[in-house]
Structure 1
Amino acid sequence: MGLSFKSSDSAFFDLFSQSANHLVAGIDLLAKLVAAPREERAVLRDSLHEVEHEADVTRHEISKKLNASFVTPLDREDISELAGVLDDCMDYADEAGDLIVLYQLEELPAGIIEQVVQLQRCAELTAEAMPGLRKMEGLRDYWVEINRLENYGDRIYRDMLAEIFEAGLDPLTVIKLKDIIETLEKAMDKFEALANTVESVAIKES
């Protein structure tokens, strides 16, 4: 019988789930923010910052535990990569909320709201998938659906860019909207990167 150099410690998986739950909470706040009147957005942005800070704390806990562990349940580089991409998803969601408040736009285009709806779905799927890392079970549907959502998100992104450039808006408004749309697209790309990382880990561990 071969020797196993993998730990059975479940704490990393608990922390991954915790990170994913932060994403759900944060992007739910972002959805409320994009639908809110301009004067109500700052309070929601502040709440989003708090969730982003909690996500940072969880990321640091993962790093601290990784540095203190001689053996781990997954390869060390995979744990670090998963933690990093989970954090990136949150960072871009937080940045988008910040931009919306700082730019003081009035009603946001429907396409931006739709981008956030897709991010909500990605966050929910991620939170549902994270427990599957323990036994590497039931994960294929997750990464397939995230990739489908990202492709759909790409179409929304392209349509939104065309819409704002053809709408006859003043150049400053176009720049502001483009910044927000691109930041939301980066968040979607990070969810795809996360799903691809989960796929790679699942294949390696199977």
Structure 2
Amino acid sequence: MKFSLRPQDAAFYDFFSRAAQNLMHGTEMLMELALPGADVQSVSERLGDLEHDSDQITHELYNKINSTFITPFDRSDIYNLGSGLDDVMDHLEAAGNLVYLYGLTKLPALPREMHELVDVLDQQAKITANAMPQLKGMKNLQEYWVEINRLENEGDRAYRMLLVRLFSGEYDALTVLKMKEVADELEKACDAFEHVANTIETIAVKES
């Protein structure tokens, strides 16, 4: 049986789980943009509230790190994980906010490839939220980071196909610029999910 010399302070894992749950709620809100008659302003405002809540969680996490003598694992890894989760939320909120501010839902429909990218993010969010409770025991996490990496590759393909669609001549130049900015935020969120998974892989290797 393996014994750990580090304290297993449940508060740290609670912060990570709360942040991951917020990401899952965030992608669910973005999924609403594909629904007929979606209230885009409401989606944007709720994403803003969720982003503020995630900022607060990150702030509480940092305070916990600074007030704890011995942490469950390396402080730098805790900072990186907390920061990585917060980065994902920032990109999700930015994408939803830009769709609203740019009035993109006034188009007949958002590109199918954009919805495919959001679907990838929704899958990443659910897998990440499900993995967080396993972090305390550092068990059965390899499947998580392998799947996140696979989804990130899928997201890259959706992003590239979206760019092809945007520059096909189907949209006017101003609309292309607006939608590309949204697409870039979605792609960054996809990458940020992979960064979170890479951080967890690093932690798991160190603690094994």
- Scaled to the shorter chain, the TM-score interval is over 0.9
Q: Are positions 1:12 and 2:12 aligned together? A: yes
* Residues 159-180 of structure 1, C-alpha deviations (whole Å, 9 max, x = no match): 1101110133211011011111
The answer to whether the 8 A contact 2:88-2:189 is kept is yes
Q: Are positions 1:134 and 2:160 aligned together? A: no
Match of 1:43 in 2: 42
CA distance in 2: counterparts of 1:126 and 1:5, whole angstroms: 27
The answer to whether the 8 A contact 1:147-1:192 is kept is yes
Residue 53 of structure 1 deviates from its aligned partner by 1.0
Match of 2:74 in 1: 75
Query: What root-mean-square deviation, in Å, do the aligned CA atoms of Structure 1 and Structure 2 show?
Result: 1.4
2:151 partner amino acid: L
CA distance in 2: counterparts of 1:4 and 1:176, whole angstroms: 51
Residue 13 of structure 1 deviates from its aligned partner by 0.5
The answer to whether the 8 A contact 1:33-1:45 is kept is no
The verdict on how the C-alpha distance between 1:163 and 1:130 changes in structure 2, with shifts beyond 3 A counting, is same
1:63 partner amino acid: Y
The answer to whether the 8 A contact 2:8-2:136 is kept is no
After the TM superposition, which residues 97-112 of structure 1 pair with which residues of structure 2 at under 5 Å, given as runs?
A: 97-105=96-104, 106=107, 107-112=109-114
Unmatched 5+ residue regions in structure 1?
A: none
How many matched pairs?
Answer: 203
Q: Report the 3-state secondary structure (helix = DSSP H, G, I; strand = E; otherwise coil) of the residue aligned with 2:110.
A: coil
Residue 138 of structure 1 deviates from its aligned partner by 0.9
CA distance in 1: counterparts of 2:32 and 2:133, whole angstroms: 27
Identify which of 175, 187, 200 aligns with 1:173. 175
Q: Are positions 1:164 and 2:166 aligned together? A: yes
Q: Report the 3-state secondary structure (helix = DSSP H, G, I; strand = E; otherwise coil) of the residue aligned with 1:166.
A: coil
Match of 2:29 in 1: 29
**TM-score, normalized by length of structure 1?**
0.95
Q: Report the 3-state secondary structure (helix = DSSP H, G, I; strand = E; otherwise coil) of the residue aligned with 2:73.
A: coil
The answer to whether the 8 A contact 1:35-1:113 is kept is no
Residue 185 of structure 1 deviates from its aligned partner by 0.3
Residue 198 of structure 1 deviates from its aligned partner by 0.6
Match of 2:87 in 1: 88
**TM-score, normalized by length of structure 2?**
0.94
Identify which of 143, 146, 149 aligns with 1:144. 146
CA distance in 2: counterparts of 1:139 and 1:4, whole angstroms: 18
